[in-house]
Amino acid sequence: MQVEAHLQKIIDQEGKVHLTLIDPASQTPERAAEIALAAVEGGTDAIMIGGSTGASGTLLDETVIKIKEKVNVPTILFPGSSAGLSRYADAVFFMSLLNSRDIGYVITNQVLGAPLVYRSQIEPISMAYLIVEPGGTVGWVGDAKLIPRTKPEIAAVYALAGKYLGMHYTYLEAGSGADKPINPEMIGAVKQVLGENKLIVGGGIRDAEAAKLCASAGADMIVTGTVLEEVKNVTAKVAEIVSAIKR
Beta-carbon neighbour count of residue 209 at 10 Å?
12
What's the min distance (Å) between Cβ of 215 and ligand 1GP? 14
Rounded-to-integer distance, Cα 171 and Cα 106, Å: 14
Rounded-to-integer distance, Cα 171 and Cα 226, Å: 17
Return the residue nearest ligand 1GP (CB atom).
202
Angle between helices 208-217 and 234-245 (to 10 degrees): 30
What's the min distance (Å) between Cβ of 173 and ligand 1GP? 5
Q: Which of 226, 235, 238, 242 binds ligand 1GP (CB under 6 A)?
A: 226
Q: Under the criterion CB under 6 A, does residue 139 sit at the interface with ligand 1GP?
A: no
Spatial neighbors of 238 by CB under 8 A, at least 6 apart, are 18, 20, 38, 39, 41, 42, 43, 44, 224, 228
Q: Under the criterion CB under 6 A, does residue 224 sit at the interface with ligand 1GP?
A: yes
- Supply the DSSP symbol for 102: -
Rounded-to-integer distance, Cα 226 and Cα 75, Å: 18
Q: Under the criterion CB under 6 A, does residue 60 sit at the interface with ligand 1GP?
A: no
State the number of binding residues for ligand 1GP (CB under 6 A). Answer: 14
Nearer of residues 2 and 211 to ligand 1GP, judged by Cβ = 211
Residue 177 is assigned to a ligand binding site: yes
Q: Under the criterion CB under 6 A, does residue 99 sit at the interface with ligand 1GP?
A: no
Q: Under the criterion CB under 6 A, does residue 147 sit at the interface with ligand 1GP?
A: no
**Could you write out the DSSP letters of every residue in 131-150?**
EBTT-HHHHHHTTB-PBPTT
Q: Which of residues 176-205 bind ligand 1GP (CB under 6 A)?
A: 176-178, 202-205
Q: Which of 173, 189, 191, 218 binds ligand 1GP (CB under 6 A)?
A: 173
Residue 176 is assigned to a ligand binding site: yes
Beta bridge partners of 171: 129, 200
Residue 173 is assigned to a ligand binding site: yes
Which sign, positive or negative, has the C-alpha torsion 45, 216, 173, 229?
negative
Residues interacting with ligand 1GP, by CB under 6 A? 21, 173, 176-178, 202-205, 223-227
Binding residues: 23, 52, 171-177, 203-204, 225-226
